Amino acid sequence: MTRIFRLIHPAPLVVRIRSRECCTYLFRALKFLGWMPPKLGIPRYLHLLYICFFFYFPLIYGPLGLLGGLISNLKSFSPGEFLTLLPLDINCLGVSIKSFILYIYMTRVHETLSTLDDLDERLQNDSDRRKIHAAVARSNYIFFVYAQFYYAYTVSVFIIGVLSGHPPWLTYNPIFDWRDSVGNFWLQTIFEYLVFLFQTMLALISDTYTIVLLVNFRAHIDVLKDHIRNLRTDPQQTEAENYDELVFNIIYHKLIIRCCNLMRPIMSQTIFIQFLLIGIDLGIALVNVLYFFGLFRAISASIFATAVLLETFPFCYLCDLLAKDCEELSNILFDSHWIDAEPKYKSTLKFFLQNLQQPIAYKAGGIFSISLNSNIQVAKFAFSVMAIVKQMNLANRFK
Three-state SS string across the chain, please?
CCCCCHHHCCCCCCCCCCHHHHHHHHHHHHHHHCCCCCCCCHHHHHHHHHHHHHHHHHHHHHHHHHHHHHHHCHHHCCHHHHHHHHHHHHHHHHHHHHHHHHHHCHHHHHHHHHHHHHHHCCCCCHHHHHHHHHHHHHHHHHHHHHHHHHHHHHHHHHHHHHHHCCCCCCCCCCCCCCCCCHHHHHHHHHHHHHHHHHHHHHHHHHHHHHHHHHHHHHHHHHHHHHHHHCCCCCCCCCHHHHHHHHHHHHHHHHHHHHHHHHHHHHHHHHHHHHHHHHHHHHHHHHHHHHHCCCHHHHHHHHHHHHHHHHCCHHHHHHHHHHHHHHHHHHHHHHCCCCCCCCHHHHHHHHHHHHHHCCCCCCEECCCEECCHHHHHHHHCHHHHHHHHHHHCCHHHHHC
Residue 115: what pLDDT?
95
Within a domain: 234: yes
Within a domain: 12: no
Residue 59: what pLDDT?
86
pLDDT in tens, 212-247: 999 999 999 999 999 999 888 888 888 899 899 999
In contact, 80 and 170? CB cutoff 8 Å: no
Within a domain: 9: no
Residue 378: what pLDDT?
78
Mean predicted confidence (pLDDT) in 360-374? 86
The more confidently predicted of residues 308 and 162 is 162
Within a domain: 140: yes
Rg over CA atoms, the chain: 25
Residue 324: what pLDDT?
92
Within a domain: 365: yes
Within a domain: 3: no
Domain with 383 in it: 18-398
Residue 85: what pLDDT?
79
- What total number of domains does the chain contain? 1
Within a domain: 8: no
Task: Provide the mean pLDDT of the chain.
Answer: 85
Q: What does the alpha-carbon distance between residue 353 and residue 171 come to, in Å, rounded to a whole number?
A: 57
pLDDT in tens, 321-330: 999 998 899 9
In contact, 157 and 169? CB cutoff 8 Å: yes
Within a domain: 4: no
* Residue 36 pLDDT class (50, 70, 90 cuts): confident
pTM of the predicted protein model: 0.87
pLDDT in tens, 99-146: 999 999 999 999 999 999 999 999 989 999 999 999 999 999 999 999
